[in-house]
Amino acid sequence: MNDITESRKPPVATTGILGWLRMNLFSTWVNSLISLFVLYILFQFIPWILNWTIFAADFKYNFNGEEIVNREMCSRVLDPENGGACWAIIYVRFYQFMYGFYPREEVWRVNLSYLMLAVAVVPLLFDNFPFRKHFLKFTYIFPVIAFFLLNGGLGLESVSTNKWGGLLVTLVLGCTGIALAFPLGIILALGRRSNLPVISMMCTLFIEFIRGVPLITLLFFGMVMLPLFLPEGIDMDGLARVLVAVTLFQSAYMAEVIRGGLQAIPQGQYEAARSIGLSYWQMNLKVVLPQAIRISIPSIVNTSIGLFKDTTLVIIVGLLDLLGIGRGALADTTWLGLAYEVYFFVSLVFFIFTFAMSRYSLYLEKKLKTGINMGAD
Amino acid sequence: MRSNLNFFSDEKFRSIFFQTLVIGLFALGIYFIVQTTGYNLEKRNIATGWRFLSDPAGFDISFSPFINFKSTDTHLDVYFVGVLNTLLVSFCGCIAATILGFLVGIIRLSSNWLLVRVAYIYVEFTRNVPLLLQIILWYSILIQLPRVKQSLEFLDIFFISNRGIYSPRPVFETGFSYVFIAIILAFISSFIIRRWAKKRQDETGKQFPVLSSSFGLIIILPLLLFFIIGSPMSFDYPALKGFNFKGGMVIRPEFIAMFLALTIYTAAFISETVRSGILSVTKGQREASASLGLKKSWIMRLIIIPQALRVIVPPLTSQYLNLTKNSSLGIAVGYADLVHGFGGISLNQTGQAIECMVIVMATYLTISLTISVFMNIYNRSIQFKEK
């Protein structure tokens, strides 16, 4: 021991359970206090929520073993002290949540569309999917098949869109909005970066206008103004009018995301493409866009999540999406007052979709960082 | 030699040709829309023009904290009430969301594993559930509070019921304007002190306690003045009369639901930008400042936050814009904002959809533009300046 060093205590263990606890929960006394407080809250909250949603909840039968057909038979109404959630409202209305008021004898068409949607989308998302090339051919023709299948025509009985509802409307709005906005967004992004001042100015004005106003005003625009703009004889139904608004809205956001990707492409790529004699469109379609879209896919997925959540806004203009069906169920006097069950269920459905999409976007980002070749080939 | 056919391979000609074509098609489209719209409006007997703005509205607005609105007031008044309500909930939401967002963002980088997990779950759940659903959920919780007769009381002056929160209303008496002027003067002088202190520090290196001196100026000076001139303010307390409260001030459940949902939803997004902003400051910066001997709190204040802000402010701006635009969802719970009051009820009563929607959209564009201009000025002030 000399005078410039001092004897110190041995360092505390940082491995094992105790070490982990000490490092992550009780490193300082403030941290310990916070940890204990959070633990206390969690111990109060988690058993309560589990009890409410699962253990004390009614699914189809109440605690007397009777099948629940109205709110008076819910355990929670019979015995407010012990009863949990009354999921019977979801059980009874499940058909509406999934298909709206689609005729029961035609419902196989919706089910088939759901199935085909999965077949069309999954190979698109994963580039190591077996026989991806052949599946992608199906993806391109899927919108046409789905349109005739859901809407009717070609020998199938026509089902008017005002009978559509629930998850069907949510998915139709989300998927169609994203699918139509993608090419429109590319055109707008190219237009905004164009050398032609008129085109660039018009695209910029359009994008900034759409991004400056709330979606709800665009939906109102589609609902109350669009019919005034159209000549007599052209009659669009509610769903189509909303789709126009949603597509315009999404295309502006998509354009900004793709423009971000375009800006990230080094100038040399443009120059190289030009110097081998490619035209403007050849340069963009064969050289620039494939690279730009590839790097902007995570952001495209993120704006798509936003759109998927924003489809709920259509209830304000009177369409019955998942949330709309939920509110309809609550307005029914036989089920009055079961708001938490309905909103919980609707949130859960949205959460599953959007959480999966956000995980996918993270997966893509990671993949992009490691530089593995992926996407548009 | 050039023939007419070769004109098309001339880039200059092609560019002019295409642009003229686009302008022509655009003008043609506008012309057709104007024609059909005029015809449609005439056929449906819908009036045009701006005269409806001075017609009496004929409906009541439940929440109008700034203007005393009566049903005999005009549609133009409905518009102003709507704009003020939109601005009110957006302003309160932006401030609360910033505070909560920064808090959660910092928590997510803390060393407490449990707290980090809880913050993560909060962020994931609120980000992945539609905002409209959250607004409706908060509203349905708030209207299940006890009725007015059984309202929860706090200190006998605050009453919470399904009609909202009733609290005492401050009544300003003569002489309060002096206090108000003092507050404004205090703000201006503390701003001047800040600039002077910064200049002095740049020149001499001496520091001046700016924060505590401005605090003293803004809080204590007006407070002193307030008591010296004999407290020119009293409170109007709410009291239960019949089926409802009389007097006092009320915050409606529609506003609370909007405020809570917007704040909690946007804060989740802000926390992510804050987190990525702080993470973007490289480890070397922290180590370098530690090796200079700076204290931990000073490292955060002088080194990390100024650099993180450069990354945080641009996405923060778009979050503010989103929050303001999302405040239009008030229509779902009956919050009398621009879209609900003017774009909804007035539109339905007058039938003048085009005029109403043009005004509503133009207003939102103006608000968005104003926010981005101010945030861009702020952004420029914090960006890295090379000397």
Is B332's Cβ below 8 Å from some Cβ in A? Answer: yes
Flag whether B200 is in a domain: yes
Is A248's Cβ below 8 Å from some Cβ in B? Answer: no
Biggest distance spanned by C-alpha atoms of chain A: 100
Q: Which of B41, B111, B129 sits opposite A228 (nearest CB)?
A: B41
Flag whether A366 is in a domain: yes
Tokens linked to B25: 């098609």
pLDDT reading at A209 higher than 60 = yes
3-state secondary structure chain B: CCCHHHHHHCHHHHHHHHHHHHHHHHHHHHHHHHHHHHHHHHHCCCCCCCHHHHCECCCCCCCCCCCCCCCCCEHHHHHHHHHHHHHHHHHHHHHHHHHHHHHHHHHCCCCCHHHHHHHHHHHHHHHCCCHHHHHHHHHHHHCCCCCHHHCEEECCCEEEECCEEEECEEEECCCHHHHHHHHHHHHHHHHHHHHHHHHHHHHHCCCCCHHHHHHHHHHHHHHHHHHHCCCCEEEECCEEECCEEECCEEECHHHHHHHHHHHHHHHHHHHHHHHHHHHHCCHHHHHHHHHCCCCHHHHHHHHHHHHHHHHHHHHHHHHHHHHHHHHHHHHHCCCCCHHHHHHHHHHHHHCCHHHHHHHHHHHHHHHHHHHHHHHHHHHHHHCCCCC
Last residue of a domain, one of A63, A90, A117: A90
Last residue of a domain, one of A33, A63, A90: A90
Is the pLDDT higher at B303 or at B7? B303
CB contact under 8 A, A24 and B113: yes
CA distance linking residue B97 with residue A309, whole number of Å: 20
Both B98 and B19 in one domain: the answer is: no
CB contact under 8 A, B112 and A220: no
What CATH number did the domain enclosing A211 receive? 1.10.3720.10
Q: What is the ipTM of this complex?
A: 0.87
CB contact under 8 A, A355 and B332: no
Both B263 and B378 in one domain: the answer is: yes
Q: Which of B22, B128, B328 sits opposite A214 (nearest CB)?
A: B328
Domain count, chain B: 3
Both A135 and A72 in one domain: the answer is: no
pLDDT in tens, A76-106: 777 777 778 888 888 888 898 999 888 888 8
Flag whether B30 is in a domain: yes
Contacts of B19 in chain A (CB under 8 A): 196-199
What does pTM read for this prediction? 0.87
CB contact under 8 A, A35 and B115: yes
Q: What residue numbers bound the domain in which A200 lies?
A: 93-370
Q: Nearest residue of B to residue A350 by CA position?
A: B129
Flag whether A146 is in a domain: yes
Last residue of a domain, one of B198, B231, B264: B231
pLDDT reading at B105 higher than 60 = yes
Both A25 and A55 in one domain: the answer is: yes
CA distance linking residue A99 with residue B73, whole number of Å: 45
Looking at residue A370, what is its pLDDT?
67
Q: What are phi and psi of A130, to 5 degrees?
A: -65, 140
Highest mean pLDDT among A52-61, B60-69, B327-336: B327-336
pLDDT in tens, A8-64: 777 777 777 888 887 777 778 888 888 889 899 999 999 988 888 888 888 877 777
Both A278 and A302 in one domain: the answer is: yes
CB contact under 8 A, A35 and B112: yes
CA distance linking residue A323 with residue A319, whole number of Å: 10
Looking at residue B7, what is its pLDDT?
65
Is the pLDDT higher at B327 or at A64? B327
- Which residue from B275, B249, B300 is spatially nearest to B64, judged by alpha carbons? B249
Both B257 and B288 in one domain: the answer is: yes
Answer left, alpha or beta for residue A371, where phi above 0 means left and psi between -120 and 50 means alpha: left
Both B224 and B258 in one domain: the answer is: no
Most B CBs within 10 Å, among A217, A348, A362, to test the B interface: A217
CA distance A207 to chain B (A): 12
Flag whether B128 is in a domain: no
Contacts of A358 in chain B (CB under 8 A): 127-128
pLDDT reading at B215 higher than 60 = yes
- Is residue A183 within a helix (H) or strand (E), and if so which, with residue range? helix A167-192
Contacts of A228 in chain B (CB under 8 A): 36-37, 40-41, 353-354
CA distance linking residue B161 with residue B143, whole number of Å: 8
Is A46's Cβ below 8 Å from some Cβ in B? Answer: no
Flag whether B184 is in a domain: yes
Is A33's Cβ below 8 Å from some Cβ in B? Answer: no
Is B347's Cβ below 8 Å from some Cβ in A? Answer: yes
Domain count, chain A: 2
Both A153 and A75 in one domain: the answer is: no
pLDDT in tens, A282-303: 999 999 998 898 888 888 998 9
Q: Which of B37, B113, B140 sits opposite A228 (nearest CB)?
A: B37
- Which residue from A158, A160, A140, A139 is spatially nearest to A148, judged by alpha carbons? A158
Is B26's Cβ below 8 Å from some Cβ in A? Answer: yes
What CATH number did the domain enclosing B291 receive? 1.10.3720.10
pLDDT in tens, B226-280: 787 777 677 777 777 766 777 677 888 889 999 999 999 999 999 999 999 999 8
CB contact under 8 A, B23 and A230: no
Most A CBs within 10 Å, among B40, B41, B128, to test the A interface: B128
Q: What are phi and psi of B297, to 5 degrees?
A: -70, -35
Flag whether A85 is in a domain: yes
Mean pLDDT across B128-157: 84
Q: Which of A31, A42, A354 sits opposite B111 (nearest CB)?
A: A31
Contacts of B325 in chain A (CB under 8 A): 213-215
Q: Which of B15, B132, B332 sits opposite A196 (nearest CB)?
A: B15
Answer left, alpha or beta for residue A54, where phi above 0 means left and psi between -120 and 50 means alpha: alpha
- Which residue from B254, B249, B223 is spatially nearest to B238, judged by alpha carbons? B249
Is the pLDDT higher at B255 or at A337? B255
Tell me what percent of the residues of chain B surpass a pLDDT of 90: 26
Tokens linked to A191: 């237009």
Beta carbons of A220 and A317 less than 8 angstroms apart:
yes
Q: Nearest residue of A to residue B366 by CA position?
A: A212
Both B16 and B85 in one domain: the answer is: no
User: Is residue B292 exposed (0-12), middle (13-18) or buried (19+ Cβ within 10 Å)?
Assistant: exposed
Strand partners, A321: A166
CA distance linking residue A245 with residue A216, whole number of Å: 9
Is B131's Cβ below 8 Å from some Cβ in A? Answer: yes
Both A309 and A295 in one domain: the answer is: yes
pLDDT reading at A246 higher than 90 = yes
Both B213 and B320 in one domain: the answer is: no
Tokens linked to B287: 């180590």
Mean pLDDT across B335-357: 83
Query: Do the strands B152-154 and B158-161 form a parallel or antiparallel pair, or are they unpaired?
Result: antiparallel
Both A39 and A102 in one domain: the answer is: no
Average pLDDT, chain A: 85
Both A305 and A335 in one domain: the answer is: yes
What does A199-237 look like in DSSP terms, one character per residue? Answer: HHHHHHHHHHHHHHS-HHHHHHIIIIIHHHHSPTT----
Q: What are phi and psi of A61, to 5 degrees?
A: -115, 150
Strand partners, B239: B246
Is B9's Cβ below 8 Å from some Cβ in A? Answer: no
Contacts of B118 in chain A (CB under 8 A): 38, 42
Tokens linked to A121: 């989308």
Strand partners, B246: B239
Both A216 and A339 in one domain: the answer is: yes
Both B375 and B262 in one domain: the answer is: yes
Beta carbons of B348 and A225 less than 8 angstroms apart:
no
Flag whether A375 is in a domain: no
pLDDT reading at A372 higher than 70 = no
Beta carbons of A202 and A210 less than 8 angstroms apart:
no
Q: Which long-range contacts (CB under 8 A, 24 or more apart) does A350-353 make?
A: A350/A308, A350/A309, A350/A312, A350/A322, A350/B128, A350/B129, A350/B130, A350/B133, A351/B125, A351/B128, A351/B129, A353/A308
Both A97 and A63 in one domain: the answer is: no
Flag whether B339 is in a domain: yes
Last residue of a domain, one of A56, A90, A124: A90
Q: What residue numbers bound the domain in which B349 lies?
A: 75-111+253-382
Beta carbons of B335 and B277 less than 8 angstroms apart:
no
Task: List the helix and strand counts (H, then E) for chain A.
Answer: 17, 0
- Which residue from B100, B96, B104 is spatially nearest to B121, judged by alpha carbons? B104
Contacts of A313 in chain B (CB under 8 A): 132, 329
Both B284 and B338 in one domain: the answer is: yes
Contacts of A199 in chain B (CB under 8 A): 18-19, 22
Is B113's Cβ below 8 Å from some Cβ in A? Answer: yes
Both B15 and B98 in one domain: the answer is: no
Is A212's Cβ below 8 Å from some Cβ in B? Answer: yes
Is A82's Cβ below 8 Å from some Cβ in B? Answer: no
Mean pLDDT across A156-163: 82
Highest mean pLDDT among A181-185, B64-68, B158-162: A181-185
Both A141 and A21 in one domain: the answer is: no
Beta carbons of A182 and A254 less than 8 angstroms apart:
yes
Contacts of A23 in chain B (CB under 8 A): 111
Both B257 and B369 in one domain: the answer is: yes
Q: What are phi and psi of A364, to 5 degrees?
A: -65, -40
Both B271 and B376 in one domain: the answer is: yes
Flag whether A79 is in a domain: yes
Contacts of B332 in chain A (CB under 8 A): 315-316
CB contact under 8 A, A216 and B369: no
Query: In whole angstroms, what separates CA B50 from the centre of its chain?
Result: 29
Both A197 and A209 in one domain: the answer is: yes
Q: How many alpha carbons fall within 13 Å on the CB side of residue B66?
A: 15
Is B133's Cβ below 8 Å from some Cβ in A? Answer: yes
CA distance linking residue A162 with residue A148, whole number of Å: 16
Mean pLDDT across A198-207: 91
Both B266 and B377 in one domain: the answer is: yes
Q: Nearest residue of A to residue B344 by CA position?
A: A220
**CB-based contacts of B319, cutoff 8 Å, min separation 6:** B97, B101, B266, B269, B270, B273
Is B326's Cβ below 8 Å from some Cβ in A? Answer: yes
Contacts of B368 in chain A (CB under 8 A): 211-213
CA distance A202 to chain B (A): 10
CB atoms inside a 10 Å sphere around CB A320: 23
Mean pLDDT across B197-216: 80
Both A322 and A204 in one domain: the answer is: yes
Flag whether B151 is in a domain: no
Contacts of B133 in chain A (CB under 8 A): 312, 323, 343, 346-347, 350
